[in-house]
Amino acid sequence: MSFCRHAALRATRLVLRQVQTPQITETRNIKRWVAPVLKQLKRRMDQVGPEAPTPRSSYLEWNYEAEIFAFGKRLREEFDRKVLKQALTHRSYVTREEDKAKEKGLEFETIECNHQLIKQGGALISQCVRNELGGKYPKDVVEALHGHLTTVDMLAHVGLHLGLKDIVQTAEFPVENETLADTFKAVVAALEVSQGQERVQLFVKDFLLSQLNGKDVYDVWAPDSPLDYLRSLLPKQEIESRLCNKSAVNTILANYQVGLYCNKKLLGLGWGESVEIAKDTAALDAIQRLSYGK
């Protein structure tokens, strides 16, 4: 019995000896020449300098019709295709194309620019901003916020993030802020022609008025004399200031708390390193509560 077992073990060992052990070899996914080539390319790029910016329309896969279609879909607005193209065509582009046609001796087909739409869009934006803010703030505050929202830089900022930089047709590149702001106005006018005043109001509210999010009104508007402005809001009532608290009076960290009262009712509280500064701060607090902090 033990002889049979010994024979079986010997046969097994012979079989295992004939089986070859697999050879494990390491392979490199990145060849040795890759790093030196990349370093050399980086040196050449540094010597040549940064690449000049090129317009998106110079790319081979550029499709202007598809970009116009996608622009409206991204904004979830239905534009009239012809009016939208006119809104995106700057006068400088028309002049350049006309000069090219004259140089080649070709007949130039008239292209409508966005000159009139810019004027219409600017008026629509002003009207929408004043209508939206008029019921919430005093007239002075409304005008200050209107001036802040309708600056060239603000309108250009909104137009840039809507993607107007790539689809506006203009002779200049990079596109200047003034051109972006004018194009945004023209797009607003094109929306009014396509869908009406109601959609324009929502459009301006969503994309322009939303730029006030996270801002305090006093970041944009501040009266020269807050206490005098408060008295102009309450012309027939007497405003009384009272010193409520003070601390560290004889140090550089002096602090005063002043309250403004009218008919024994607290209008506002303010703090400052002097009584006069505390009065102005209290007046700003009172204006906020009376005018738009309710």
Give 183-240 pLDDT, tens digit per residue: 999 999 999 998 888 899 999 999 999 998 888 777 888 788 888 888 888 888 888 8
Q: What is the pLDDT of residue 294?
A: 46
What's the predicted TM-score (pTM) here? 0.73
In whole angstroms, give the CA distance from residue 161 to residue 207: 10
Domain 64-217 sits in CATH at 1.10.1520.10
pLDDT at 251: 87
CA distances for 128 relative to 93, 157, 220, angstroms: 30, 18, 19
On the question of pLDDT at 76 being above 80, the answer is: yes
Phi, psi of 134, deg, nearest 5: -65, -35
**Residue 8 pLDDT level (bands cut at 50, 70, 90):** low
Fold for the domain defined by 225-292:
Double Stranded RNA Binding Domain (3.30.160)
CA-to-CA distance for 261 and 243, rounded, in angstroms? Answer: 11
The average pLDDT across 96-105 equals 80
Tens-digit pLDDT profile for residues 262-290: 888 888 888 899 888 888 888 888 888 87
Give the span between the Cα atoms of 285 and 270, in whole angstroms.
Answer: 7
Other beta carbons within 10 Å of 208 = 21
Query: How does pLDDT run across 237-265, given as a tens digit for each residue?
Result: 888 888 888 888 888 889 999 988 988 88
Cis geometry, peptide bond prior to residue 174 (ω within 30 degrees of 0): yes
Query: How is 12-75 classified by DSSP, letter by letter?
Result: HHHHHHHSPPPPP----SS-TTHHHHHHHHHHHHHHH-SPPP--GGGSTT--HHHHHHHHHHHH
Which tokens is 114 given? 């966005």
Query: For the chain, which residues make up each domain, given as ranges?
Result: 64-217, 225-292
Burial letters 275-290, b for 16+ CB under 10 A, else e? eeebbbbbbbbbbeeb
Give the max Cα distance, the chain: 125
Find how far residue 275's CA is from the centre of its chain: 40
Q: Give the pLDDT of residue 252.
A: 87
79's torsion region: left (phi>0), alpha (psi -120 to 50) or beta? beta
Sign of CA dihedral 152, 158, 159, 165: positive
Arithmetic mean of pLDDT over the chain: 84
The percent of residues above 90 in pLDDT, for the chain, comes to 20
Are both 64-217 and 225-292 of the same fold? no
How do strand 265-272 and strand 240-247 relate by DSSP bridges?
unpaired
Residue 180, helix vs strand vs coil: helix
Model confidence pLDDT, tens digit, residues 9-66: 676 666 656 655 666 666 667 778 888 999 999 999 999 888 888 888 788 788 888 8
| Alpha carbons 129 and 240: distance in angstroms, whole number | 36
pLDDT in tens, 110-153: 778 888 999 999 999 999 999 988 877 778 888 888 999 999 99
Give CA–CA dist 173/91, Å, rounded: 14
